[in-house]
């Protein structure tokens, strides 16, 4: 009795993808990255699906950005370590870190200083982030000895792990991939003295050697949700990954379009010949990207078709020329099972990360747990 747009979340697929990450990681432990509401898939739903240590398929820890969400994980009974990827923003957050055993990433000297000078009731593990060329967060080699000395002498520190984040593990436009950043990492004095956390999904899949070594941790995100970190290298299905989110809806109208007639706002699509089109109950207020151009792939009754014209707030239009039996009520898949989000993202000039994170709260979630 409600609008037909739905996001189906396939938790067995999430666990399957986690198993693939586990295989690639060798002996490294895995932070499951659940920032941004588990990339739009639902924080508690995903964390709980990967937290049952009895199954042998549980995350070793959860990594995210938002302190309030870390507290939600603790309130839900999640016992694993929790890593705060940007650490604390203000010293007044640190008592909560201590109380709930949260691991901060420390990425500037000032933040390191504020951590070691806080008065905390117990020691915490910390991550020290090194800048190896991403040039967003992290200490430079000149600052690193000071930070390390502060941490090694601090009564607030239980253990130190060194971390860095790769800008080109998916290669992007860089021919060298990880080599420049690994070379810069080697310039930090004695980086092997502490455990390391280097790999995101792309590095884990493409350069599993970045996980090797005892006590090291990888930080996969996107692959757990079933997308490829670099679809041009290998697609998600080639990597054995299964989509977790399927965004679907239905046709709510079907109409003929005569040659020369236009569709939607600003008439961005003009029919070259007489044709049939369908109107789908899904638009940018549901999280579908407004910038997806005519030709972005969709599935109508399981058959591939394409979008036509501008994406509206609540609707988008699709080509039914080769689908004569499609009628109102015919199912439409926007991405997910049968239509990789990576393909939709590529057509729309973005990445599946952005599609998933943009899923709107008005879209009902159908959770499949077994």
Ligand X SMILES: *Cc1c(COP(=O)(O)O)cnc(C)c1O
Q: Could you tell me if 61 and 244 are in contact, meaning their C-beta atoms sit under 8 angstroms apart? A: no
Of the candidates 32, 200, 294, 307, which one interacts with ligand X according to CB under 6 A?
200
Please choose, out of 67-75, 178-186, 197-205, 331-339, the segment that lies near ligand X by the rule CB under 6 A: 197-205
265 among known catalytic residues: yes
| Shortest Cβ 245–ligand X spacing (Å) | 14
For the chain, the straight-line distance linking the first and the last C-alpha, in angstroms and rounded, comes to 25
Q: Which two tokens stand for residue 23?
A: 């295989």
Q: Which residue of the set 89, 265, 284, 288 is catalytic?
A: 265
Furthest-apart CA pair in the chain: how many Å? Answer: 77
Distance CA 358, CA 282 (A): 13
Residues 157-186, mask of contacts with ligand X (x by CB under 6 A): --------x---------------------
Residues 224-263, mask of contacts with ligand X (x by CB under 6 A): -----x----------------------------------
Residues 22-51, mask of contacts with ligand X (x by CB under 6 A): -----------x-x----------------
> Helix and strand tally (H, E) in the chain?
11, 18
Of the candidates 8, 219, 310, 315, which one interacts with ligand X according to CB under 6 A?
219
Distance CA 3, CA 315 (A): 11
**Helix, strand, coil in percent for the chain, rounding step 5:** 30, 25, 45
Give the length of the chain: 370
Q: Which H/E stretch holds residue 249? A: strand 245-257
At which residue do the structure tokens 């970045």 appear? 210
Q: How many CB atoms lie within 10 A of CB 215?
A: 13
Q: Which two tokens stand for residue 132?
A: 């190896």
Q: Find the binding residues for ligand X in span 292-321 (CB under 6 A).
A: none
Q: Could you tell me if 144 and 152 are in contact, meaning their C-beta atoms sit under 8 angstroms apart? A: no
Q: Find the binding residues for ligand X in span 66-85 (CB under 6 A).
A: 85
| Shortest Cβ 335–ligand X spacing (Å) | 17
| Shortest Cβ 231–ligand X spacing (Å) | 13
35 among known catalytic residues: yes
Q: Which H/E stretch holds residue 180? A: helix 179-186
| Shortest Cβ 13–ligand X spacing (Å) | 16
Distance CA 360, CA 345 (A): 17
| Shortest Cβ 63–ligand X spacing (Å) | 7
Q: Rule CB under 6 A: is residue 201 a binding residue for ligand X? A: yes
Distance CA 189, CA 227 (A): 36
The residue (of 202 and 359) whose beta carbon lies closer to ligand X is: 202
The residue (of 201 and 294) whose beta carbon lies closer to ligand X is: 201
Please choose, out of 15-23, 106-114, 200-208, 354-362, the segment that lies near ligand X by the rule CB under 6 A: 200-208
Q: Which two tokens stand for residue 267?
A: 């008439």
Q: Find the binding residues for ligand X in span 321-350 (CB under 6 A).
A: none
Residue with the shortest CB distance to ligand X: 221
Distance CA 123, CA 358 (A): 37
| Shortest Cβ 272–ligand X spacing (Å) | 40
DSSP state of 129: E
The residue (of 22 and 219) whose beta carbon lies closer to ligand X is: 219
Residues at the site binding ligand X, with contacts judged by CB under 6 A: 33, 35, 85, 165, 200-202, 219-222, 229
Q: Which residues are catalytically annotated?
A: 35, 265
């Amino acid at each position: 009795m409600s609008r037909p747009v739905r996001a189906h979340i396939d938790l067995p697929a999430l666990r399957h993808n986690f198993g693939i990450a586990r295989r690639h990681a060798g002996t490294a432990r895995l932070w499951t990255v659940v920032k941004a509401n588990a990339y739009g898939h639902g924080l508690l739903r995903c964390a709980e699906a990967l937290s049952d240590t009895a199954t042998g398929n549980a995350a070793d820890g959860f990594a995210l950005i938002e302190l309030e969400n870390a507290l939600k994980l603790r309130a839900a009974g999640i016992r694993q370590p929790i890593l705060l990827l940007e650490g604390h923003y203000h010293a007044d957050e640190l008592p909560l870190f201590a109380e709930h055993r949260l691991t901060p990433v420390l990425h500037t000297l000032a933040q390191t200083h504020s951590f070691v000078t806080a008065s905390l009731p117990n020691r915490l593990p910390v991550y020290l982030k090194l800048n190896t060329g991403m040039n967003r967060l992290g200490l430079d080699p000149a600052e690193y000895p000071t930070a390390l000395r502060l941490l090694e002498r601090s009564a607030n520190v239980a253990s130190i792990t060194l971390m860095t984040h790769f800008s080109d593990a998916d290669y992007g436009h860089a021919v060298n991939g990880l080599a420049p950043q690994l070379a810069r990492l080697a310039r930090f004095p004695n980086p092997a003295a502490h455990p390391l956390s280097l790999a995101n999904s792309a590095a884990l899949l493409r350069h599993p050697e970045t996980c090797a070594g005892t006590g090291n941790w990888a930080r996969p995100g996107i692959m757990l949700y079933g997308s490829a970190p670099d679809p041009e290298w290998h697609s998600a299905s080639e990597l054995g990954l299964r989509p977790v989110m399927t965004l679907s809806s239905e046709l709510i109208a079907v109409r003929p379009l005569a040659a020369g007639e236009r569709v939607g706002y600003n008439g961005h699509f003009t029919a070259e010949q007489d044709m049939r089109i369908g109107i789908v109950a899904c638009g940018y207020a549901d999280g579908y990207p407004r910038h997806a151009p005519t030709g972005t792939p969709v599935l109508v009754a399981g058959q591939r078709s394409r979008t036509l014209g501008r994406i509206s707030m609540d609707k988008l239009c699709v080509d039914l020329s080769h689908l004569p039996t499609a009628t109102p009520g015919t199912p439409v898949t926007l991405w997910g099972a049968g239509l990789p989000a990576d393909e939709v993202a590529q057509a729309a000039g973005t990445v599946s990360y952005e599609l998933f994170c943009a899923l709107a709260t008005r879209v009902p979630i159908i959770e499949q747990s077994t």
